[in-house]
Amino acid sequence: MITPKKIVEELEPYVPGRSIEEIASEYGVDPDKVVKLGSNENPMGPSPKAVEAIKENLNLINQYPESNLDGLVKKIAEYAGVSSSNVITGGDGADEILDVLGKTFIEPGDEFIVPLPSYMYYEFTLNIHGGVPVFARWDMEKNTLDVDSVIKALSPKTKLIFLCTPNNPTGGLIDKKDIKTVLESTDALVIVDEAYFEFSGVNNVELLESHDNLFILRTFSKVMGLAGMRIGYGISNPQIISYMYRMKPVFSLTKLSQIAASATLDDKDYIKRSTELSVKSRDFLYSEMSKFDNLKVYESKSNYILVGTRKTGMKARKLTEELMKKGFIVRDCTSFRALDEYWIRVSVGTIEEDKKFIEALKDIIG
């Protein structure tokens, strides 16, 4: 029989957050009562305008999506404050954009730099294209990038550098001057992952004009409330964008996803309220969790909070299990490279959900 590529057997599978259906059936909990604080979704639910727009177009799902995404691209460009020629959008959230980066730039043996801990999907996706990960360091004390570690990791083989800000799962920001330092130290493409930028109030779009090796990665899965619809986008100079469009799958964004993304961008009020709720909820969760003297709680600029559980004596696996039994899903971070077995990531819920979660936490480790 045909043998697969070598990487197929070497690759560590990506471990996704777990779904309500899985947990409910495994722990015998009522699915309607499960609170999901595991995947950094929008606790408000989707924009009602997106839901309405989908409903109006359901009779069209037998037709292929538009391959011409100009309309959506224009709206994204307006939202981001750039030109349409700076934008690429596609299906599968930001994950497809990552895959297209691999398809466009990575040949077997090329290197990509990832500070640790960070989003694990970079490594999963780029490995498939034969990329070799080179790890830099996230400064856990200061909860920011150790920029020197990135500079030291550079080599002539470096093709892509990933800077996640706010960083998943630690929640800290990367200083703009550190991003500039990286941009100016290399010709490699610097992917600034702004999946969660709305919750931080800062972004790095202004650096586009002066740096043609900047690529900003974003998603509709967080504040836009469309994780289930799988829409992502990237912002860079028109040359990079046009290279990538040549390699992108033609029809990967579903018809309903296009419609939902467009309608959500039109719903400014929803975006504003979603951001405000998550920020308020984050600050509440931070303050409440900080009261546990056996938890190490990281300050976050995003819609999740990283929590160290070592002092509770409970590994993340055990604690997440106890929480699941009470109907709460949080992210066990054991599969995150450079974190040990004592870390969980808690996504913000509604304030009501947060309160119930804190009660459950008290029962288990209080």
Q: Which of residues 54-73 bind a second copy (CB under 8 A)?
A: 54-55, 58-68
Closest CB to a second copy among residues 260, 330: 260
Residue 52 CB, shortest distance to a second copy, in Å, is 9
Closest CB to a second copy among residues 159, 345: 159
**Residues 27-56, interacting with a second copy (CB under 8 A):** 36, 39, 41-42, 44-46, 50-51, 54-55
Q: What 3 state SS string does 261-305 have?
A: HHHHHHCHHHHHHHHHHHHHHHHHHHHHHCCCCCCEECCCCCCEE
Alpha helices in the chain (DSSP H): 6-10, 20-27, 48-56, 70-80, 93-105, 121-128, 147-153, 176-184, 197-200, 238-247, 255-266, 268-289, 316-325, 351-365
Does residue 187 belong to the site contacting a second copy (CB under 8 A)? yes
Closest CB to a second copy among residues 214, 289: 214
* Beta-carbon contacts of residue 2 (< 8 Å; ≥ 6 apart): none
> Helix (H, G, I), strand (E, B), or coil: what is residue 63?
coil
- Cβ(195)–Cβ(304) below 8 Å: no
**Residues 327-366, interacting with a second copy (CB under 8 A):** none
Give the interface segment with a second copy, choosing from 148-156, 234-242, 319-327, 348-356 (CB under 8 A). Answer: 234-242
Q: Alpha-carbon torsion 183, 186, 187, 190, what sign?
A: negative
Residue among 170, 169, 134 nearest 155 (CA): 134
Strand partners, 329: 36
The gap between the terminal CA atoms of the chain, to the nearest Å, is 56
Residue 7 CB, shortest distance to a second copy, in Å, is 8
Closest CB to a second copy among residues 251, 340: 251
Closest CB to a second copy among residues 218, 296: 218
Closest CB to a second copy among residues 2, 177: 2
In this chain, which of 21, 206, 359, 363 binds a second copy, going by CB under 8 A?
A: 21
Question: From edge to edge, which strands make up the β-sheet containing 296-297?
Answer: 35-37, 328-332, 343-347, 304-308, 296-297
Report how many residues bind a second copy under the rule CB under 8 A.
79
- Cβ(305)–Cβ(201) below 8 Å: no
In this chain, which of 153, 189, 191, 323 binds a second copy, going by CB under 8 A?
A: 189
In this chain, which of 28, 141, 177, 246 binds a second copy, going by CB under 8 A?
A: 246
Q: How many residues does the chain have?
A: 366
Residue 152 CB, shortest distance to a second copy, in Å, is 20
Please report which helix (H) or strand (E) contains residue 139, including its range: strand 132-139
Closest CB to a second copy among residues 113, 289: 113
Closest CB to a second copy among residues 247, 351: 247
x-or-dash string of contact with a second copy, 258-287, rule CB under 8 A: --x---------------------------
**Residues 146-175, interacting with a second copy (CB under 8 A):** 159
Strands 111-116 and 87-91: unpaired
Residue 287 CB, shortest distance to a second copy, in Å, is 25
**Residues 290-329, interacting with a second copy (CB under 8 A):** none
Give the interface segment with a second copy, choosing from 18-26, 148-156, 311-319, 332-340 (CB under 8 A). Answer: 18-26
**Residues 80-119, interacting with a second copy (CB under 8 A):** 91-93, 95-96, 99, 103-108
Q: Which two tokens stand for residue 52?
A: 């309405």
* Beta-carbon contacts of residue 182 (< 8 Å; ≥ 6 apart): 147, 150, 151, 161, 163, 190
Residue among 230, 359, 254, 366 nearest 311 (CA): 366
In this chain, which of 147, 229, 346, 361 binds a second copy, going by CB under 8 A?
A: 229
Residue 285 CB, shortest distance to a second copy, in Å, is 18
